């Protein structure tokens, strides 16, 4: 039997390119976390770019002057929101952390009451199964309690590190300034230092990524902000009218985070919240939360077709697999990063996917 070394060399190169690309994406995400202020600056610069172009076209000002004007306005808004957000988060997170044990005890008592009202003998459920269910519920409550405590402790530790936050914010705003004002210079430098073939390939993939990922992320960011603002306003209204909303900002952030996750949506957090409120006898709060969820859903459905021009073209089952994989690898944040990596892989290997992965690698 004669082995075709040329064929297997091509197959090996294709597999090696695939593995190197996946490794490169992994390293890119690691570097993105390390250089987070610059990543945030790039995202903000991407969001305000249309405003800079608008001011530049409508006035006789240069791009640099237009960018500075927009940056000053955006910076004042962001600094004001940041100061209010840090102050509110410090207060809410501290109060929640101090009262967390009482909330866990109340949840334990509620579950105990529900279980005690169930006649397991009529359901013919063995006592061993009942014990397993009870132990699983207690373990779940303990796990959630520990996760919330760790999250709130980490959040408080971060918020109280004012010098660190000031450094991050300062670097971020300086980076936004340079990205917005010297965009063309940076592109010229990139073309000058990299080989021409690399520039062509990077330019092609960058344009494709901006179309499939950049626009998608920008659209999703707008939708998430809309959901967060609507939920925050609604929760603060509920708090002012006397409903039992003690932590509106934390709750709105949690709703916004869940809404950012593909497939799930804000209802994943709000519907269980309404059910628990109803079980506790707070019917008014339960109805208010359901009403807010309906308003948020209507606003999102109205805004989404106007903001999102294209779908990512990935079946929900693959998105769900990506979310699960990200969660298993790096935790809750991976549920958001997983689908992003999937979109990047789909874009980079679009030709390979169109032809068929196995065919593209092993065909002669």
Taken as a whole, the chain contains a residue count of 364
Look at residues 96, 85, 90 and name the one whose alpha carbon lies nearest to residue 245. Answer: 96
Contacts of 237 (CB under 8 A, 6+ apart): none
Total-model pTM: 0.65
The pLDDT tens digits along the chain (364 residues) read 455 566 667 767 777 877 887 787 778 778 877 888 888 888 788 778 888 888 888 887 888 888 888 888 888 888 888 888 888 888 888 887 777 777 677 766 766 676 666 655 666 666 676 677 667 767 776 777 777 777 778 777 777 777 777 888 888 888 888 888 777 677 676 666 667 776 666 666 666 666 666 666 777 777 788 888 888 899 889 888 888 788 888 888 888 878 777 667 788 888 888 887 887 778 888 898 899 888 888 887 777 666 655 455 566 677 778 878 887 877 767 777 777 777 777 776 666 665 655 565 666 6
What are the tokens at 220? 């999703």
Compute the Cα dihedral for 342, 223, 86, 105 and give only its sign. Answer: negative
Domain ranges of the chain: 35-185
By the 8 A CB rule, do 308 and 216 touch? yes
By the 8 A CB rule, do 312 and 343 touch? yes
């Amino acid at each position: 039997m004669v082995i075709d070394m040329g064929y297997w060399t091509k197959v090996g190169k294709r597999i090696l390119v695939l593995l190197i690309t996946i490794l490169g994406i992994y390293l890119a995400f690691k570097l993105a976390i390390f250089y987070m202020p610059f990543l945030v600056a790039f995202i903000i610069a991407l969001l305000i770019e249309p405003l800079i172009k608008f001011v530049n076209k409508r006035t006789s000002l240069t791009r640099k002057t237009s960018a500075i004007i927009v940056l000053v306005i955006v910076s004042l808004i962001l600094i004001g929101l940041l100061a209010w957000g840090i102050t509110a988060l410090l207060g809410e997170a501290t109060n929640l952390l101090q009262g967390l044990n009482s909330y866990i005890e109340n949840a334990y008592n509620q579950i105990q009451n529900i279980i005690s009202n169930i006649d397991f003998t009529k359901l013919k459920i063995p006592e061993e199964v009942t014990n397993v269910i009870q132990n699983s519920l207690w373990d779940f409550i303990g796990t959630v309690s520990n996760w919330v405590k760790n999250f709130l402790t980490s959040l408080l530790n971060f918020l109280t590190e004012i010098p660190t936050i000031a450094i991050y914010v300062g670097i971020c705003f300086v980076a936004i300034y340079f990205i917005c004002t010297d965009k063309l210079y940076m592109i010229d430098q990139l073309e000058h230092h990299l080989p021409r073939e690399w520039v062509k390939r990077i330019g092609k993939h960058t344009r494709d990524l901006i179309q499939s990922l950049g626009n998608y992320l920008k659209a999703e960011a707008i939708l998430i902000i809309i959901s967060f603002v609507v939920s925050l306003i609604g929760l603060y209204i509920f708090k002012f009218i006397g409903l039992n909303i003690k932590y509106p900002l934390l709750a709105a952030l949690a709703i916004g985070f869940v809404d950012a996750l593909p497939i799930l949506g804000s209802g994943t957090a709000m519907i269980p919240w309404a059910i628990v409120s109803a079980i506790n006898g707070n019917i008014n709060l339960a109805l208010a939360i359901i009403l807010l969820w309906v308003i948020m859903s209507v606003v999102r459905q109205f805004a989404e077709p106007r903001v999102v021009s294209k779908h990512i073209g990935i079946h929900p089952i693959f998105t769900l697999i990506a979310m699960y994989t990200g969660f298993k690898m790096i935790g809750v944040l991976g549920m958001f990063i997983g689908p992003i990596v999937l979109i990047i892989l789909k874009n980079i290997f679009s030709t390979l996917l169109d032809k068929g992965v196995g065919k593209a690698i092993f065909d002669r």
